[in-house]
Structure 1
Amino acid sequence: MNFPQISYNQSTSFFNSSSPLPPGLGLMLLYPYKPAIAWASVSFVMALFGSINNLLLLAVTFRLRSLNQGSGYLLGSFFFGNFLLSAFTLPTAAVGVILGFHGGRRQISDFHCNILQPLSTTIFVALAWTDAALGVNRYIAICWPNLYPRFSTKATAYVTIILCWAVSFACMLPMTFGRYGSYRVIPRTNLCTVVYDGVSGQVLGQLGVYGPWCIIGASVLLVLRRAIALSWIRARRIRAMGMAANGRDFNSAQQRQIRRAVALGRVLFIAFLWNVLCQVPVSVVVQFFPYILAQYPMVVLMLKSSLAGVYVFIPLIFYATSDDYRRGSRALVMSVVGGASSAGVHPNDSTRY
């Protein structure tokens, strides 16, 4: 998992695997046994929840006719990345903590971290850039509808997805070879982390998180601004010409565009706030209060769970804000268990993506 992200000189005595430890403590985990096992158990449940729901939304995405276009492929890539993180990152961390209590025979080393951590970090960064691409896609769809057909093709979606993963590899791959940082094991935790070396390493690492944040935040604000403007235009026309004479016009393309703008702005805004809520505590503690991690080792696990909330619980936002995904998921589940067929799932213009 992309946690914690620290510079080489931050809390070195705790995070640097080469730091000397008191005799006899090198093979002991810092966590209390029962709370750590409880955290591992909850992590397995979270991983199962995130894997099932993201996989379900991935299936629904490609079954909805309203998503049979470029934006649908971006959403599919988004849910697939969430699924990979849920299925791989949390279980790996939980298994590491459990095995760590068996002593030195099953301790994770820097060698293991150089294999496991690049996978989870690369997926995490690619997911962040895919989220940013979705924000740009929605901005063009709402604010520049005449240009949107050029950006909604499958070819454009494929190129965008490849570009997101290429940027992620470019940010993370150098550290695999010891450039600008490295992947290290946090002593006496059996967990891995990214250690950035110098200013260049910090810039390269944070580009994967805060770069997409800037793009997503700007897209959300612009989409909301457009939605408010369309609502004002509609209200003025209703007052000027009367609802009865123009109800048909307002119930057609103009009104559908307003509904899509409002629904999309709501989804993007809530998802953006959820990302901030999950990731900001991690960045604040690691960057400004690293000593807390040394004094209270369980905080490391709690912040790990906080960051995992980004991809584990994101399906709940889609269930709560999109009627298409609610009905599509329900129909798909019913079809799997032998109930109603999902063939009747149709796009709803009010929540169309």
Structure 2
Amino acid sequence: MTQLQSMMLNSTTMLPVDEGHEQYCVQVNSTNASSVAVRSSAAFELQIQMCIAVSVILCFTGALTNGGLLIVVLKFESLRKGAGIFIAHLLLCQLILLATVLPVGIHTVSLAAKSRANGGTQVHCEVCVFQQSAGMALFYLINFTEALLALNRLIGVYYPTKYHIINRRIFHVVGLAFCWTLSLGFTVPPIFQLGALYQMSPLGNCVVTVVSQKSRAPLVLLLALYVYVPLIFTTVAAVLISMRLISSHRAVAPTRKANSTPGNDDGSRSAPPHNSTRQPNMSERQRRMSKMLITSFAVNFLCQLPQFILAASGLIMRYPVALLWTTALLSFQFLVTPITFLVRNEDYRNKARELLYRSIRRPHRGHPEQRSQSRTSARQRQSRSIKTQESP
């Protein structure tokens, strides 16, 4: 989805397209490595069909998991406080990507496969202007939002006394606005063919191609900054937070052991420190949030790593189907993220269970006015029975 490819634009296209829209299709010829790699065969088409089937399942399941947890977060104010707005934004971006953008990409790949099989199937390459720009913008927003979560947790873990300074709605809004500015600043110019343009490859997937060789170097640099920097930052943050949690656990263990002593030398029990009941709860919530984000960052790193390896080694140019599988792997990442939040954070599990319990009980309890009328009728019947018993 984010792989930058420079293609030749001076020959005939391999896809039947609308007249006047050829500029949105990657032009290849027999000497181009990409055209050689996309030569159709039974095994090649089987791989594509398998990738399409897996991607459809992942997108559908991921849309359910992200949509379900997003409803939970929006229903409970306690989950939206502080960094919760970043969680909601992350889930929303992933939901839009899985429910709309990626299915459109799957459809174009399927149409290209039909065109190679029987010909005559018209492929609308201009759809990449919208599909790829939206997909890249959402992908960057997801990475930047995770970087904001990592920064928020780093400050909360290492500078807890200063955490309240940044844990304000104004800072959250400014951070998200900055992420949107960066994402749109990179994805909007290619829509107007400024430095690059969005095109459809012979495989049916959308790519970014450079307009000229002069724009190639700055475009590759920007792409590296947008993709690698957030991922490296979240990875380093996960390591630092893990180290802090380990050292914190080692420091708390002797204290718990000392507090569990029945009494002092004089037989009296040591008095708990001031506000001791509240501080462990706050610390425990921070610990749960940190563990949740560490696990999420680790999953994201593992899911995105194959794409970087394939891009650096140049294997994607020789095996273009691998790019489709890396996109499917990203879908798996977005699917697993809300599951990670539920598994690693008790707060999300409890609220999800509470919301599910409410939705199950509500249809059986009836409308509030009906419940009020039934309670009034019950009181009236009880009052009549008491009067009947008291009468001679």
Which amino acid letter does the alignment assign opposite residue 224 of structure 2?
Answer: Q
The answer on whether the counterparts of 1:227 and 1:261 sit within 8 Å (CA) in structure 2 is no
SS for the counterpart of 2:197 is strand
SS for the counterpart of 1:62 is helix
Which residue, 54, 62, 67 being the options, matches 2:74?
62
Which residue, 113, 131, 135 being the options, matches 1:120?
135
Aligned to 1:346: none
The answer on whether the counterparts of 2:13 and 2:27 sit within 8 Å (CA) in structure 1 is no
Which amino acid letter does the alignment assign opposite residue 71 of structure 1?
Answer: A
* Partner Cα distance (1:177, 1:54) in 2: 32
What is the CA distance between 1:243 and its match in structure 2?
4.4
Aligned to 1:351: none
Which residue, 293, 308, 330 being the options, matches 1:268?
293
RMSD, aligned CA: 3.3
Which amino acid letter does the alignment assign opposite residue 43 of structure 1?
Answer: S
What is the CA distance between 1:239 and its match in structure 2?
5.4
Which amino acid letter does the alignment assign opposite residue 248 of structure 2?
Answer: L
What is the CA distance between 1:261 and its match in structure 2?
4.2
SS for the counterpart of 2:199 is strand
Q: TM-score scaled by structure 1?
A: 0.81
What is the CA distance between 1:131 and its match in structure 2?
0.8
Which residue, 352, 366, 384 being the options, matches 1:329?
352
Aligned to 1:20: 29
Which residue, 70, 81, 106 being the options, matches 2:93?
81
Unaligned runs of 5+ in 1: 342-353
SS for the counterpart of 1:18 is coil
Aligned to 1:52: 64
Aligned to 1:301: 324
What is the CA distance between 1:314 and its match in structure 2?
1.2
Q: TM-score scaled by structure 2?
A: 0.74
The answer on whether the counterparts of 2:147 and 2:233 sit within 8 Å (CA) in structure 1 is yes
Which amino acid letter does the alignment assign opposite residue 46 of structure 1?
Answer: L
SS for the counterpart of 1:195 is strand
Given the superposition, is the C-alpha separation of residues 329 and 237 from structure 1 closer, same or farther in structure 2, using an over 3 Å criterion? closer
The answer on whether the counterparts of 2:200 and 2:206 sit within 8 Å (CA) in structure 1 is yes
* Partner Cα distance (2:304, 2:247) in 1: 32
- What are the Cα deviations for residues 54-110 of structure 1, in whole angstroms up to 9, with x where unaligned? 11111111233432423111111011011011112321122112222143542242x
Aligned to 1:345: none
Aligned to 1:5: 4
* Partner Cα distance (1:80, 1:247) in 2: 48
Unaligned runs of 5+ in 2: 15-24, 263-268, 365-392
Given the superposition, is the C-alpha separation of residues 242 and 331 from structure 1 closer, same or farther in structure 2, using an over 3 Å criterion? closer
Aligned to 1:191: 205
* Partner Cα distance (1:224, 1:201) in 2: 35
Which residue, 237, 244, 269 being the options, matches 1:226?
244
Aligned to 1:284: 309
Given the superposition, is the C-alpha separation of residues 89 and 163 from structure 1 closer, same or farther in structure 2, using an over 3 Å criterion? same
Between the two proteins, what is the percent identity of the paired residues?
Answer: 22
Aligned to 1:312: 335
Given the superposition, is the C-alpha separation of residues 201 and 297 from structure 1 closer, same or farther in structure 2, using an over 3 Å criterion? closer
* Partner Cα distance (1:230, 1:333) in 2: 35
Aligned to 2:49: 37
* Partner Cα distance (1:293, 1:312) in 2: 27
Given the superposition, is the C-alpha separation of residues 262 and 70 from structure 1 closer, same or farther in structure 2, using an over 3 Å criterion? closer
Q: How many residues align?
A: 331
What is the CA distance between 1:248 and its match in structure 2?
4.8
* Partner Cα distance (1:332, 1:36) in 2: 40
Which amino acid letter does the alignment assign opposite residue 107 of structure 1?
Answer: V
Given the superposition, is the C-alpha separation of residues 286 and 82 from structure 1 closer, same or farther in structure 2, using an over 3 Å criterion? same
Which amino acid letter does the alignment assign opposite residue 122 of structure 2?
Answer: R
* Partner Cα distance (2:363, 2:161) in 1: 39
The answer on whether the counterparts of 1:108 and 1:191 sit within 8 Å (CA) in structure 2 is no
**Higher alpha-carbon Rg:** 2
1:106 equivalenced with 2:118 (yes/no)? no
Aligned to 2:372: none
* Partner Cα distance (2:354, 2:245) in 1: 30
**Using CA pairs below 8 Å that are at least 6 residues apart, which structure has the higher relative contact order?**
1
Which amino acid letter does the alignment assign opposite residue 123 of structure 2?
Answer: Q
- What are the Cα deviations for residues 211-236 of structure 1, in whole angstroms up to 9, with x where unaligned? 21232123223322332332233234
Given the superposition, is the C-alpha separation of residues 241 and 332 from structure 1 closer, same or farther in structure 2, using an over 3 Å criterion? closer
Aligned to 1:173: 188
* Partner Cα distance (2:151, 2:123) in 1: 43
SS for the counterpart of 1:20 is coil
